[in-house]
Chains A and B, each alone.
Chain A
Amino acid sequence: MSAEGAHGAPVPAGVEGVTTSALQGELLSLDRVARAFVGSPPIEALRDATFAVADGEIVGIVGRSGSGKSTLMNVIGLLDRFTGGTYEIEGRSAANLSDREQTGLRSTFFGFVFQQPFLLASLTVQENVELALRPRRLTRSDRGTLATQALERVGLSRRRFAFPATLSGGEAQRVAIARAIAQEPRVLLCDEPTGNLDERTTEEIVALLVSAAGTSAAVIMVTHDLVIARALPRVLTVRDGIVSDGLDEQHLAGRAARPNDVSSGRDRQP
């Protein structure tokens, strides 16, 4: 924690130096994007989400539980469909993408890191990373090389033949990151990737994700952790499905439940 982020907060290792000035072009563009779920009454999980994400940008998404952060993330990553508005990926409307094209983009354009690592217990670490490359037109050796390189970047190449059951929580999440960055995605989507980890491991994971921006074009990270959010160069706050630019700490500080948790509104002591 040697530098300060856009909000004057200490920056986790690896975040420093990354600014919006590194942006090159617009990757994602959302205009009044909405996601409503059928019900009585219908649930509007996302309303009027309007923002753009540029190449190389690191964006944090914060919001209280149930605010629609994950829905927004799923819509961006084409894991879920949107029911209103316009969403463009590199200038192309996502609404017109076929199922096959959406799947192709999930394989080549987006990389995902979830709160749970979702490692397959029957596969080794290396095989878990290679799993993300299987839908690609790659030779077996190329796949192996890319997976090994990704594991080296997260510092786990020596454990590539281990099975997930033998990994710690932090190691498992690093494997999940390796799986995502092995794809060399243009956008790395992280949905509370440190939610289940302790403070020290959280810092390591964040540093890894931010450094991934060096090769991946953009990182979008949903987080509950205000310390991480403050350190990110750009933060979006989701409130009742409405996305606003900036870190709305006043809103987030509304109800206290857990320290440092967006839901609680209390900071972690640095």
Chain B
Amino acid sequence: MSQAGSYRNRTPITPEALTNLIRRPLRTLLCALGTMIAVAAFVAIDGLTDTARGAVSSSFNALRATTVEFQGGTSVNPILTQQGVTRLERLNGVTSAGLLWDIDRQQPLAVHRTPPTDPTASEPTASLSFTAASPSALTAIGAKLQTGRFYDDGANTHHQMVALLGAAAAQQLGITSTIGDPAIFVGNSALTVIGIIGSTQQEGQVLLGVVVPQYVASVIAGRSDQRRVIARTAPGAAQLIGRQGPYALDPYAPSSIDAEVPPNPSMLRASIESSLSTLLSVLALAGLAIGLVSIGTVTTLSVAQRRSEIGLRRALGYRRLDIFRLILAESVGVGILGGILGTSLGVLAVSIVAASHGWTPVLATQVIALAPALGIAVGIIAGSYPALRGMSVTPVAALRSA
């Protein structure tokens, strides 16, 4: 027999498969496209699920999760009263609570810097909405002063005609300081501006208008308005306060009070996770199906096109198993490439989406490790049939068909 080496038990296939893939880059890339999309979808959706989960957690911050709002009755027929608020504040878990309502349903009222009766007036005039708030309500909504001071219970008791201006309203009226007790005129009432609210955590509309005590509201309001109570609770107590609050506010008719509690974060998170998980499953499965079909089709076509090559290899001493291994190795190579490219694309997609929303990208390391393995699995599954077909090609038939 020949001097040029004896026959191997197994022809080394990997270098050949690698050469075939590298030398036909376009075919390899096109073949890997399906798997790449599938793996990218898998990584991206999983990453986005985790990222969104993190975002949900951060969105449900202490403020939103610890605020309960009660509604009921009107300013003319009040169910929600200061006494009720005082009882509410005594409940375990309530950190602050206050009564407030929109005056004339936030319809803007004409506000002057000078008495409307003054014919020589040239001071700025503005149309501003009015909100009535108890002193404790200012704490509950997290109002912060830019200048001046808040009013207290005494303002109501002593019928003081005072007002707080929102920062935007103050700018409109040209009031920058409370020094010198600036006054504003609403209808026939003169109100002393004692403070300017610079910011609030809730009820942001107050920055655009005027906040007045309960007594002043009764003087300037032309109609009845629905009252609300804002209660801030300790973390985790909102659901409980939402149930107990109506009894504290009006023990005789708790059912006439509606409580608006924040959604249970854990339930909401579960809901979001559930929908995202469904999306993940559907898209990932669809993507994997695309990947399988893509590699399977291209590899099958490739086997058909390479019949003469297969025949030649068989004639040169490649065994059936060598042909099977070669085709499968190429398919797995395509799967690995698709897996790596898909993982990179998925990570990039998660990073971009997270960055555009200001979220922190969260990616499970096991998913990143699993993704290329998924590509390999796709390659093996998709390449098996064409590889079986390839190994069944007889050399004489393959060479004859060339």
Contact = CB atoms under 8 A, between A and B. Distances in A.
B402 A103 contact: no
A116 B315 contact: no
Interface string A91-121: 0000000011001101111001010101010
Centre residue among A114, A123, A127, A134 by max chain B CB count within 10 A: A134
A186 B322 CA distance: 24
A195 to B, nearest CB: 13
B253 interface: no
B314 A138 contact: no
A77 B5 contact: no
Interface string B1-32: 11111111001100010011001100000000
B315 A131 contact: no
Contact of B24 (A107, A122, A137, A183): A122
Contacts of A185: 2
A118 B317 contact: no
Interface stretch (B133-141, B199-207, B305-313): B305-313
Interface residues of A, number: 36
B396 interface: yes
The listed residue with most B CB atoms (<10 A of its CB), out of A106, A127, A138, is: A106
A74 B315 CA distance: 10
Interface string A108-150: 1100101010101011000100011111111000100010000
B272 interface: no
Interface in A58-109: 74, 77, 79-80, 99-100, 103-104, 106-109
B72 interface: no
B365 to A, nearest CB: 37
B269 interface: no
Contacts of B312: 118, 120, 131
Interface residues of B, number: 33
A116 B315 CA distance: 14
User: Most chain-A CB neighbours within 10 Å: which of B16, B394, B395, B402?
Assistant: B395
A120 B305 CA distance: 12
B316 A79 contact: no
A103 B318 contact: yes
Contacts of B53: none
Interface in A156-211: 179, 182-186
A184 B3 CA distance: 7
B315 A182 contact: no
Contact of A127 (B19, B314, B315): B19
Given A182-B4, A183-B2, A131 B316 contact: yes
Contacts of A77: 315
A54 B317 CA distance: 23
Given A120-B309, A137-B7, A106 B2 contact: no
Given A108-B4, A134-B318, A146-B4, 19 more contacts: A79-B396, A80-B394, A99-B320, A112-B316, A114-B399, A116-B308, A118-B311, A118-B312, A118-B402, A123-B23, A133-B5, A134-B11, A135-B318, A137-B7, A138-B4, A183-B4, A184-B4, A185-B2, A186-B2
4 tightest A-B contacts by CB? A107-B317, A136-B5, A122-B23, A135-B317
Interface of A: 74, 77, 79-80, 99-100, 103-104, 106-109, 112, 114, 116, 118, 120, 122-123, 127, 131-138, 142, 146, 179, 182-186
